[in-house]
Chains A and B, each alone.
Chain A
């Protein structure tokens, strides 16, 4: 593998990319790979395989940092996450093994297409309608709103608590497993955590409230990214001098992002997610166009 000199790497820019990815990723229940990989290839001109490998390691940091907050708040469905990961991890291993033999252009085009689909999925989703209940003058018509109200009125005599919402009945598990397997493949293939597929799958197919889906996805993404990262590790695509500033930036961004998420509404998160990844999709496809000329 090529050597990369210390003075060839813009450490502040790399750290900044990690910070932005960590911030946005933790707020949206994704690892941030959809931001990191394009920015590492566009801004730092890194070969895409090195960008993917670096992204996967940083994703473990962003998702785990976010998962600390969500898990402690009781929003993570750990059992569901573990179940879905039994298919996501093999998918990630397969995806990574395929990626190391694919041409960079094909990876970039695949990246752009998956992003467009994920953006559409989030806009098209509808919040799950729960039993309406009067809580200190607030009427919660959806589980998302219910969670928001519960987080502001911890002492209210509520019909259900957060752990009951987190452990609510899950629908369409086989379909959720299939979607998770695909998420794993794309994770290993593209250097993403798979949350952009997992979160819509959990909200649209399995009918989870979005905050539970985001929290559970954050728990899962670290495990998925680890499996893929180890394949790239074996092939020598991980460079400590690139990964190190990315990790530091991602950690700081994720810390801030997970705190800000507690104050954001489910609807705002969903539309922010769709808007941001639409922009990234355009960037990636433009990159392919430029490279092909």
Chain B
């Protein structure tokens, strides 16, 4: 595969990941916002605690679903880095694989900090 084709494939993959991540999160946030307005919840506090998030999402709590949408938004750039890393593995581009993994390390650190 020529260099130009490799670049094009990577570009298409990254574009697809971004499209899926942003689309899903925007739909979740939009629908939940409408539900929140419709149910007219009194006090809308900050992000629900992590240990309650899943149960509240399953109960279709609008605030929890918005939070899930926000988390998907924050995960999407990380996914684009993962996709790029996988692409570099396939193309045996060690330098850029190293760069991608370094970036993922920093992002993982941020996620761990956010949830501790």
Contacts and interface: CB of A to CB of B under 8 A. Distances in A.
Interface of A: 1, 3-6, 9, 11, 57, 60-61, 64-65, 67-68, 71-72, 74, 76, 78-79, 82-83, 85-86, 89-90, 93, 161, 163-164, 166-167, 219, 222-223, 225-227, 229-231, 233-234, 236-241, 243-245, 247-248, 251
Contact of B73 (A3, A57, A90): A57
Contacts of A167: 3, 7
B81 A68 contact: no
A71 B33 contact: no
23 contacts: A5-B44, A9-B44, A11-B37, A57-B70, A57-B73, A68-B15, A71-B18, A72-B15, A74-B7, A76-B11, A78-B10, A83-B96, A83-B99, A223-B78, A223-B80, A226-B107, A226-B110, A227-B106, A230-B110, A230-B114, A240-B46, A241-B44, A247-B29
B94 interface: no
B103 interface: yes
B58 interface: no
Given A5-B42, A64-B22, A78-B10, A240 B67 contact: yes
Given A86-B99, A86-B103, A226-B107, 10 more contacts: A6-B40, A61-B25, A64-B77, A82-B96, A93-B110, A234-B113, A234-B115, A236-B47, A241-B63, A248-B30
B26 interface: yes
A71 B14 contact: yes
Given A65-B22, A230-B110, A244 B8 contact: no
B43 to A, nearest CB: 5
Contacts of A229: 74
A247 B26 contact: yes
B68 to A, nearest CB: 10
Interface residues of B, number: 56
B102 to A, nearest CB: 5
B41 to A, nearest CB: 6
Contact of B103 (A65, A68, A85, A219): A85
Residue among A5, A72, A76, A240 facing the most chain B CB atoms (10 A cut-off) = A240
A227 B110 contact: yes
B18 A68 contact: yes
A95 to B, nearest CB: 12
Interface in B1-54: 3-4, 7-8, 10-12, 14-15, 18-19, 21-22, 25-26, 29-30, 32-33, 36-37, 40-47
Residue among B43, B70, B107 facing the most chain A CB atoms (10 A cut-off) = B70
Given A79-B96, A82-B99, A163-B4, A248 B33 contact: yes
Nearest to A96: B110
B46 A236 contact: yes
User: Which 5 A-B pairs have CB atoms at the shortest separation, nearest pair first?
Assistant: A241-B44, A230-B114, A240-B66, A230-B110, A222-B77
Contact of B26 (A72, A76, A78, A248): A248
A235 B7 CA distance: 39
Nearest to B32: A244
Nearest to B75: A226
Given A11-B37, A89-B103, A60 B29 contact: no
A276 B27 CA distance: 31
A222 B19 contact: no
Given A64-B76, A247-B73, A248-B30, A163 B81 contact: no
Contacts of A67: 14-15, 18
A60 B74 contact: yes
